[in-house]
Amino acid sequence: MVSRSEQRFIRINLITIIVTLLVILAGGIVRSTGSGMGCPDWPKCFDRYIPPTDVSQLPANYKEKYVAGRLKKNEKFAKYLESMGKVALADSIRHDKSITIPEEFNPTKTWTEYLNRLAGVAAGIFLFLTVVYSFAYRKTAKRIILLSILNLFVVGYQGWLGSIVVSTNLAQWVVTVHMLLALVILAISIYTYNYAKQLNKVPSVIMYRIAWLKGFLFFTLVISIIQIVLGTEVREAVDVIAKSLSYGSKNIWISKVGEVFSYHRDLAILVVIANAVVYKMVIDRFSGKAAPLLTARFILITLLIQLLSGFALAYIAFPPAAQALHILFSTLLFSLQFYLYLLVYRTSTYKQ
């Protein structure tokens, strides 16, 4: 029997997953509109809790002020990298000339980035609430408490890394790590949600063990993560090309990206095949309204939207809406695959 406090945790955990996906969508909108440097400081925006709407509200020397602040923060970050033995990386940050170039104030970009940060704050609040309500399992499932607390620390680190993204003027590798940490946060939340839901249920019973399906699902997860990393690198390359062309000639951006786009495009074929195989394996083993079957169907729908948005990016000159959708649905695809893996992992330990 699920207690009221446990039901509350499950509900808050689910909301946290949804809000985290919305944060990723907001981040995608920021990237697609070029608003990443809309707020040159962090956590405030132009040293305000409510950002300005007009350049007249800013001090005359605001450009020099925020460049100096970025350089100071980056020096601390460079020393942190050196302490980890990343000397070359630290030097590359110190000598990155783009960091010294001030951003022009643009109220639309400023508020786009600010709303993205508010979404991040909302996710942080819900992650904190999952920690509070996770203590409903202090006698039955302490791992839920530990993982919820761990996730709160991860999101705190993610917030700090977000400040580094700003101070390094969207340094490519920092943006990639920022994205991967978002997947970690999602994975932990999905795990605690699934574990809490299944804790008091009788495990599903199937005819035989399906270790092969588990293994193949893990494989699809790995290639999806690789695909997300490659997609981030494509986006970073496009940013450089777009800037060099003064954000004009969108129709030739992809053609200038090079091999990383070819890898990303070709791996998409493998992603499609792998997920089609997963779907076939799932429908052979589950029927009716079984959660694995429903999840597998959602995976196919998500994959279709992901492919359509990717096609639009590659061949219809980077429409902003497609950029945001591509990021969102790549993350949603990973989330559904991981959830399916957890469902199958649980059922596969039992047999009739």
Domain that holds residue 67: 1-201
My answer on whether 162 and 222 are in the same domain is no
pLDDT at 346: 62
What is the rounded distance in angstroms from the CA atom of residue 287 to the CA atom of residue 204? 12
My answer on whether 169 and 244 are in the same domain is no
Specify the pTM. Answer: 0.85
pLDDT at 188: 96
My answer on whether 284 and 318 are in the same domain is yes
* CATH number, domain containing residue 303: 1.20.120
To 10 degrees, the CA torsion angle through 272, 274, 280, 282? -120
Residues found in the chain: 352
Which of 156, 178, 201 terminates a domain? The answer is: 201
DSSP state of 45: B
My answer on whether 184 and 72 are in the same domain is yes
Q: CB–CB of 90/82 below 8 Å? A: yes
pLDDT tens, residue order, the chain (352 aa): 778 888 999 999 999 999 999 999 988 888 778 777 788 877 788 888 889 898 888 877 888 888 887 788 788 888 887 887 878 778 877 877 777 777 788 899 999 989 988 998 999 999 999 999 999 999 888 999 999 999 999 998 888 887 777 667 656 677 788 888 999 999 999 999 999 988 866 454 343 456 777 888 899 999 999 999 898 888 878 777 877 777 777 778 787 888 888 899 899 999 999 999 999 888 887 776 678 889 999 999 999 999 999 888 888 877 878 888 888 999 999 999 999 998 887 654 433 3
The domain tally of the chain equals 2
DSSP string, 77-120: HHHHHHHTT-HHHHHHHHT-GGGGSPPPP-HHHHHHHHHHHHHH
pLDDT at 242: 75
Nearest CA-CA partner of 190 in 351, 345, 35: 345
My answer on whether 206 and 111 are in the same domain is no
pLDDT at 167: 67
